[in-house]
Amino acid sequence: MVERFIDVPGGRLEVHDFGAGPPVVLLHANIVDAWAWEPLTPFLLDAGYRVAAFDRRGFGGSTTEDVEFTNRADTIAVLDALELDRAVLVGNSAGGQIALDAAIEAPGRVAALVLIGAPVPGYHPDLTPAEEALEAELEAADESGDPGRIADADVRAWVDGPGQPADRVHEDIRELVREMDRALNDPGRVQGRPSPARPPASERLDRLTMPVLAVAGELDFSDLVATTDYLAANAPDARALVMPGVAHLIGLEAPEALARAILDFLAPLPRWG
């Protein structure tokens, strides 16, 4: 593995770069940092891919000033710094939304797109009443500013899954996410001011000229499960996959099964670099 830092306007990104071969770039969810991809990475490396994962601004080892920026531009800056003309982008949750927006803005740089539990800006399917109550708990925890309370709420919602028992996922995974989440919500951490893409992705899905795999866990929030079908129906070359028995952080919960789905999706594609 090569660790490097990439300077971007007003910030610095830490990148973990593994192996050689067609490149796959991993974008993490909002409650973890790039190390959440560690269980998945060996499966991709063993299959002959180069794998890069980076901490977004304010996450993990990456830093930022209190400036406006776009995560899409930062993603392309990582591709540029690694001298990658094209790469597959794999994003979980908010990382998937960023990968989606980056692919819409720079389709020539993205060979394929894997979106895992990722929302599509502008598309808002209804939640169940129980999920709405859980979202209210998440908002109340965020407003408290207490890193421990925020982490506990996030683990219950995103690791366990809505309405799922606390012992469904191994405690080691729950504690790993809790530890990363607490660090991200440290009051002294600067995260900058990310600017959303306009118009929203739901109005520009026709720009996705690359193959897209939209994945959700069966036990995730129902709107994210519905989003996989929405993408399959509205993007030019997209397919949906709902994985049984898992929730939101599939790369931690079931890395081998997720890797198998990704590798099966990538196998027939022309090589890229």
* pLDDT tens-place string over residues 77-136: 999 999 999 999 999 999 999 999 999 999 999 999 999 999 999 999 999 999 999 999
Residues of the chain with CATH 3.40.50.1820: 2-125+189-266
Per-residue tokens: 112: 């394929």
Contacts of 219 (CB under 8 A, 6+ apart): 161, 162, 164, 168, 245, 246, 247
Contacts of 150 (CB under 8 A, 6+ apart): 141, 142, 144, 181, 182, 185
For range 33-57, the mean pLDDT: 98
Q: Would you call 174 exposed, middle or buried from its count of C-beta atoms within 10 A (0-12, 13-18, 19+)?
A: buried
Report the share of the chain in percent with pLDDT over 90: 98
Q: Where are the beta strands (DSSP E) in 55-163?
A: 63-64, 68-69, 87-92, 110-116
Contacts of 93 (CB under 8 A, 6+ apart): 29, 30, 31, 116, 117, 118, 119, 158, 248, 249
63/188 Cα distance (integer angstroms): 12
CATH topology of domain 2-125+189-266: Rossmann fold (3.40.50)
For range 262-268, the mean pLDDT: 98
pLDDT, tens digit (0-9, with 9 covering 90-100), for 135-184 = 999 999 999 999 999 999 999 999 999 999 999 999 999 999 999 999 99
Report the share of the chain in percent with pLDDT over 70: 100
C-alpha distances in Å from residue 60, one per residue of 16, 45, 73, 93, 163:
11, 22, 19, 17, 29
Model pTM greater than 0.95? yes
What is the predicted pLDDT for the residue at 24? 98
What is the predicted pLDDT for the residue at 1? 73
Q: Contact, 18 vs 45, CB < 8 A?
A: yes
Q: Contact, 265 vs 211, CB < 8 A?
A: yes
255/261 Cα distance (integer angstroms): 10
Nearest to 57 by CA among 15, 107, 23: 15
Nearest to 61 by CA among 96, 95, 12, 10: 12
